[in-house]
Amino acid sequence: MAESHNKAEIGLDPEIVHGVQDALAEGGLAQAADRVLALPYADAADLIESLTPEERAALVPALKGRLDPLVLSDLAYSVREELVDLLGPRGTAQALTELDTDDAVEVVRTLDKAVQFQVLEAVPALERGEIERGLAFPENSAGRLMQRAFVAAPASWSVGQLIDHLREAEDLPDDFYDLFIVDAEFRPIAAVPLSRILRSKRPVLVGAIVEPEGEFSTVPVTMDQEDVAYLFLQRDLVSAPVVDEHGRMVGVVTVDDVVEVIEEEREEDLMRLGGMAQTDIRRGVLGTTRGRFAWLFVNLLTAILASLVIGLFEAQIEHLVALAVLMPIAASMGGNAGSQTLTVVVRGLATHEISVVNATRVVTKEVLVGSLNGVLFAALGGLVAGLWFGTWQIGLVLGAALVVNMMAAGLAGSLIPLAMHFRKIDPAISSVVFLTTVTDVVGFLAFLGLASWVLL
Amino acid sequence: MAESHNKAEIGLDPEIVHGVQDALAEGGLAQAADRVLALPYADAADLIESLTPEERAALVPALKGRLDPLVLSDLAYSVREELVDLLGPRGTAQALTELDTDDAVEVVRTLDKAVQFQVLEAVPALERGEIERGLAFPENSAGRLMQRAFVAAPASWSVGQLIDHLREAEDLPDDFYDLFIVDAEFRPIAAVPLSRILRSKRPVLVGAIVEPEGEFSTVPVTMDQEDVAYLFLQRDLVSAPVVDEHGRMVGVVTVDDVVEVIEEEREEDLMRLGGMAQTDIRRGVLGTTRGRFAWLFVNLLTAILASLVIGLFEAQIEHLVALAVLMPIAASMGGNAGSQTLTVVVRGLATHEISVVNATRVVTKEVLVGSLNGVLFAALGGLVAGLWFGTWQIGLVLGAALVVNMMAAGLAGSLIPLAMHFRKIDPAISSVVFLTTVTDVVGFLAFLGLASWVLL
């Protein structure tokens, strides 16, 4: 999230938004619509998102029929629902017909069941069939991501034949980056980047311009989109063929879809570590409050658990109130050390840098790091506590509690996500709860327990 | 981070790693080397990373001269340094010569100054010049990302002329995706995807197959890499021309570089919110401990500040020890509510969904959400506290403190990153510190302050 020197040139210019809002306020509907239509689709989507619902209700009828259908697929879900409402089932169906299958499927899947049904009714049978086939694939699968139009040829074609075919063919995708070579059963066996075809002479066979050392990857329709993204990253792919259970080619995934998957997963990772299922930037106050309630509720339970632990030592605290003053230090240092470990381990699992091969090494290292930093902060924290309350024993107790809790943080921060990963549970969100519970309970227990043993 | 059903097929097979380790242990150097060389470069890099330093020292001499130079650019920094050491300046220089400029620059920039000098000395003058020109661009700029080889032509060329030129030309990039049309001053004015060229007949002018409505974007050499990534995402680009201060084309950025930037930034965001500058998965115990110390130290200071606030109320706690038991609830609920707000706002700023246009609306919404959840948890928390300690007044005090702190969390969680963003400071890491300080201080102060006023 580094700041740039020319951020103003990037992204939608606020002046444009204000211009459209002013035009709408003055009843200049046609003028407002023209300004929106002049923008590239992603900017138009951003602009529509930053309007109020009332402004959208005024603007959309004026755009009718002329809006780039890609705007619909680019909008945030809540705003998309609004637009589908404003366009009506017919207007939406029209837009879907113009989109590639993958984009149309993405729009349809986010609609309420009832609206989905109405809209699909209005789509012509052929396109409806394609969209429904797309929806039949599991969510987040390659089948959902792929586009059904692609270019494939047998290895025996010459470059000349291929170019002539491309010049005549009608049903080609808008843009494509690789030619896929298929065998007699329509199974993809190699990919040839278009730049290689352009550089080869007409009589050369397409099968001959495949790099011999080139690793070729196919994507099963059921592959998880995050694994597709990993494959693209690992092999520097621009497009890859998608195959059904018989290995036959049924579609193609392109890098633009993958870039979106990576962005989506990036958002998901961040939100989960922050305690939310998804970003709620476009949701209203009530929806947002409701969306965040669950996580805060879980947090209330762990906080109460921590309070119960403290409650065990009421007598000791009453006797030595310094304990109440210092106890948050023991818990919070463990929490922070643990969340450092957790972040590194969750990320390492996602990038496949951590696996069964090195899991034990990772846990050992994290416990050692936790213990070492524990010793350092035991010295620092113990010194502060000792000086503050004028007795070295309380410093000693805080120091010992810090060592114990930061070691526990390294252990729990690495073991919890690893255990979840190997049991095939997403490690991000629930790890944080378990970890905080461990570091709070261990922190308070170690500090207050040692104090009642040593000091009282 | 969703788990897949077929994770085992994805990523490096642990069996292969064990196979290489066993071969090394038994002295089968040639056999181990062959296994590594048979892997695609990214897998070879992963494998080399998961070996111990001793195993690497045995393996690398056996690979000498045959290792894909891309492995070097794909390795984690610390392991890369080791490999450069093992290959020596000559071996490294040889690999650099075979890499594209952008990859070579990426390898060289991460080396220690002394090693960098030795290695560059061994690179032939021509390539050294190109690498040094790349290094002269600011870090994280488009100039660092770009590749110097690209394909450009005037609009007056025909498709046939272009194809003939490509078939003869020697100094073309390995793969390319767009033809850039340049004017007489070598300023790029349009991009034509290769698939359009392949579909057009020989006499058609390349200037005629440019889409009229196509938005065309150029990237200044000084543009921040994150803005480049945003542009690619927003415009669905596969490649884009990089221009110097006179608008002349000097290189091209391709989507594979952008995918890596997005992954890098994703890691950076996660690590910063977790309290680290970068992932330390490949660093040793001492390096990791040192790397995490700074953040924990800052956290110790905020924890001490919180303790100072508690210390103000020693007399009240001594008098009513229930206060010590309940006070962590008030602080921790605020901390969690604040980090939800912070995550959404930091992310919204990064995706340009939050800007000056809607900043006020965002803050207002976050304060409202914080207050509403505050009221809900005041009821819940207050009830629990009242029942636990058998007096409704303590429940009332905890409830009021929760409302105050969760409202403050919404305010601070949105205002802090917004203020940093508009002052051009990266909002991620330092926001967390300020936020925790606010929610701890407000939480303890509100709860203990109200308690001493109402209860004592």
- Residue from the list A236, A318, A329 with its beta carbon closest to the beta carbon of B256: A236
**Do A345 and A264 belong to one domain?**
no
Q: Are A47 and A74 in contact (CB under 8 A)?
A: no
Task: Say whether A342 and B274 touch across the interface (CB within 8 A).
Answer: yes
Contacts of B307 in chain A (CB under 8 A): 325-326, 328-329
A360: tokens are 């034990």
Contacts of A324 in chain B (CB under 8 A): 310, 314, 317, 321, 323-324, 327
Task: Say whether A381 and B300 touch across the interface (CB within 8 A).
Answer: yes
CATH for A52: 1.25.60.10
**Do A41 and A162 belong to one domain?**
no
Distance from CA of A320 to the nearest CA of B (A): 8
Q: Are B350 and A1 in contact (CB under 8 A)?
A: yes
**Do B301 and B399 belong to one domain?**
yes
> What average pLDDT does this structure show over A63-85?
87
The one-letter amino acid code at B422 reads F
Tokens 């194809």, located at residue: B163
Contacts of B384 in chain A (CB under 8 A): 304
Task: Say whether B300 and A269 touch across the interface (CB within 8 A).
Answer: no
Contacts of A193 in chain B (CB under 8 A): 175
Q: Which domain holds residue B100?
A: 11-137
User: Per residue in A231-269, pLDDT tens?
Assistant: 998 888 999 999 999 999 999 999 988 988 888 887 887
Task: Say whether A326 and B307 touch across the interface (CB within 8 A).
Answer: yes
- The span from the CA of B190 to the CA of B205, in Å, is 13
Task: Say whether B348 and A276 touch across the interface (CB within 8 A).
Answer: no
CATH for A309: 1.10.357.20
Q: What is the pLDDT of residue A10?
A: 62
Q: What is the pLDDT of residue B139?
A: 86
Distance from CA of B125 to the nearest CA of A (A): 29
Task: Say whether B328 and A339 touch across the interface (CB within 8 A).
Answer: no
Contacts of A11 in chain B (CB under 8 A): 230, 234, 352, 355
**Do B25 and B64 belong to one domain?**
yes
Helix (H) or strand (E) holding B260: helix B255-273
Distance, CA of B30 to chain centre: 38
List C-alpha distances in Å: A212 to A155, A166, A182, A207, B210. 14, 25, 16, 10, 34
User: Per residue in B7-33, pLDDT tens?
Assistant: 334 667 788 888 999 999 998 889 999
Task: Say whether B1 and A292 touch across the interface (CB within 8 A).
Answer: no
Task: Say whether A328 and B342 touch across the interface (CB within 8 A).
Answer: no
Contacts of A268 in chain B (CB under 8 A): 1
Q: What is the pLDDT of residue A442?
A: 97
Ranking A213-217, A296-300, B183-187 by mean pLDDT, the lowest is A213-217
Contacts of A327 in chain B (CB under 8 A): 324
Distance from CA of B379 to the nearest CA of A (A): 12
Task: Say whether B263 and A258 touch across the interface (CB within 8 A).
Answer: no
CATH for A164: 3.10.580.10
Q: What is the pLDDT of residue B429?
A: 63
Domain contains B5: no
- Residue from the list B2, B300, B349 with its beta carbon closest to the beta carbon of A380: B300
Distance from CA of A8 to the nearest CA of B (A): 10
Global pTM exceeds 0.90:
no
**Do A445 and A349 belong to one domain?**
yes
- Residue from the list B310, B317, B337 with its beta carbon closest to the beta carbon of A296: B337
**Overall number of domains in chain A:** 3
Tokens 């080609």, located at residue: A172
Nearest CA in chain B to A228: B10
Task: Say whether A318 and B321 touch across the interface (CB within 8 A).
Answer: yes
Q: Which residues of chain B have pLDDT under 50?
A: 1-9
Neighbour count for residue A170 (Cβ, 10 Å): 4
Nearest CA in chain A to B344: A279
- Residue from the list A18, A198, A273 with its beta carbon closest to the beta carbon of B198: A198
Residue A3 in this model has a pLDDT that exceeds 50: no
Residue ranges in B274-321 assigned as alpha helix (H): 285-311, 314-319
**Do B104 and B170 belong to one domain?**
no
Sign of the CA dihedral running B287, B291, B297, B299:
negative
Contacts of B17 in chain A (CB under 8 A): 357
More confident residue, A276 or A362: A362
Task: Say whether B285 and A365 touch across the interface (CB within 8 A).
Answer: yes
Task: Say whether B344 and A274 touch across the interface (CB within 8 A).
Answer: yes
Distance from CA of B78 to the nearest CA of A (A): 14
Interface test with B, best of A215, A223, A260, A343 (most B CBs within 10 A): A343
- Residue from the list B167, B201, B271 with its beta carbon closest to the beta carbon of A201: B167
Task: Say whether A5 and B321 touch across the interface (CB within 8 A).
Answer: no
Q: What radius of gyration, in Å, describes the C-alpha atoms of chain B? A: 29
**Do A295 and A439 belong to one domain?**
yes
B241: tokens are 């021309």
Q: What is the pLDDT of residue A317?
A: 94
Task: Say whether A255 and B238 touch across the interface (CB within 8 A).
Answer: yes
From A103, A136, A169, the end of a domain falls on: A136
**Do B163 and B121 belong to one domain?**
no
From B207, B236, B270, the end of a domain falls on: B270
Domain contains A360: yes
Domain contains B52: yes
Distance from CA of B26 to the nearest CA of A (A): 19
Interface test with B, best of A321, A345, A349 (most B CBs within 10 A): A321
Tokens 């809006």, located at residue: A67
SS3 assignment for chain A: CCCCCCHHHCCCCHHHHHHHHHHHHCCCHHHHHHHHHCCCHHHHHHHHHHCCHHHHHHHHHHHCCCCCHHHHHHCCHHHHHHHHHHHHHHHHHHHHHHCCHHHHHHHHHCCCHHHHHHHHHHCCHHHHHHHHHHHHCCCCEHHHHCECCCCEECCCCEHHHHHHHHHHCCCCCCCCCEEEEECCCCCEEEEEEHHHHHHCCCCCEHHHCCCCCCCCCCEECCCEHHHHHHHHHHHCCCEEEEECCCCCEEEEEEHHHHHHHHHHHHHHHHHHHCCCCCCCCCCCHHHHHHHHHHHHHHHHHHHHHHHHHHHCCHHHHHHCCHHHHHHHHHHHHHHHHHHHHHHHHHHHHHCCCCCCCCHHHHHHHHHHHHHHHHHHHHHHHHHHHHHHHCCHHHHHHHHHHHHHHHHHHHHHHHHHHHHHHHCCCCCHHHHHHHHHHHHHHHHHHHHHHHHHHHCC
Task: Say whether A256 and B238 touch across the interface (CB within 8 A).
Answer: yes
User: Per residue in B201-214, pLDDT tens?
Assistant: 999 999 888 865 55
**Do B217 and B127 belong to one domain?**
no
Domain contains B275: no
Task: Say whether B328 and A331 touch across the interface (CB within 8 A).
Answer: yes
Nearest CA in chain A to B42: A234
Domain contains A6: no
- The span from the CA of A348 to the CA of B46, in Å, is 12
Domain contains B417: yes
Task: Say whether B281 and A166 touch across the interface (CB within 8 A).
Answer: no
**Do B369 and B432 belong to one domain?**
yes
Domain contains B4: no
Q: What is the pLDDT of residue A213?
A: 53
**Do A189 and A59 belong to one domain?**
no
From B214, B236, B270, the end of a domain falls on: B270
The interface predicted TM-score (ipTM) is: 0.80
Domain contains A145: no
List C-alpha distances in Å: B86 to A148, B38, B64, B80, B92. 48, 21, 9, 10, 9
Distance from CA of A125 to the nearest CA of B (A): 29
Distance from CA of A50 to the nearest CA of B (A): 7
Task: Say whether A321 and B317 touch across the interface (CB within 8 A).
Answer: yes
**Do B128 and B243 belong to one domain?**
no
Interface test with B, best of A179, A231, A288 (most B CBs within 10 A): A288
Q: Are A428 and A435 in contact (CB under 8 A)?
A: no
Residue A9 in this model has a pLDDT that exceeds 50: no
User: Per residue in A275-289, pLDDT tens?
Assistant: 777 778 878 888 889
